Amino acid sequence: MKKNWPLWEIFVRSKNGLEHRHFGSLHAADAEMAMENARDVYTRRNEGVSIWVVESKNITASNPADNGEMFEPAQDKVYRHPTFYDLPDEVKHM
């Protein structure tokens, strides 16, 4: 038999109050093993208080080739930023 262990993406919350952040990936036969391995590989020095494991194939990623149509339209929408609006200096707390 020859079937490779699938790849898992590991997300770690470093402390309560912070979001889970992508830490890296690893191979494991199932979610339980991915969790155990993630603990050993990514949290040997108190780096986390919570771990998410997601099989890599379940992630849909945007394609950098589409970055133009995906992200460029936001560039000319300066009116979404507070600095776009001209107010007299006398206006305080705004």
Partner 1 sequence: MSEKEVKNLEEIFEARIARDEKIEPKDWMPEKYRKTHIRQISQHAHSEIVGMLPEGNWITRAPSLRRKAALLAKVQDEAGHGLYLYSACETLGISRDELYEQLHSGKAKYSSIFNYPTITWADMGAIGWLVDGAAIINQVPLCNTSFGPYARAMVRVCKEESFHQRQGFEIMLTLCRGSEEQKAMAQDALNRWWWPSLMMLGPTDAESIHTEQSMKWKLKRKSNDELRQQFIDQTVPQADLLGLTIPDPDLKFNEETGSYDFGEIDWDEFWQVVKGHGPCNKERMDARVNAWNNGEWVRDAAMAHAEKNEKRKVAKAS
Q: Which long-range contacts (CB under 8 A, 24 or more apart) does 29-38 make?
A: 29/5, 31/55, 34/8, 34/10, 38/8, 38/10, 38/12
The yes or no reply on residue 63 touching partner 1 (CB under 8 A) is yes
Residue of the chain from 15, 18, 24, 49 that contacts partner 1 (CB under 8 A): 24
Which of these ranges, 1-9, 11-19, 68-76, 77-85, lies near partner 1 under the rule CB under 8 A?
A: 1-9
Q: Do the Cβ atoms of 54 and 44 come closer than 8 Å?
A: no
Binding site for partner 1 (CB under 8 A): 1-5, 7, 24-27, 29-30, 33, 40-41, 44-45, 61, 63-65
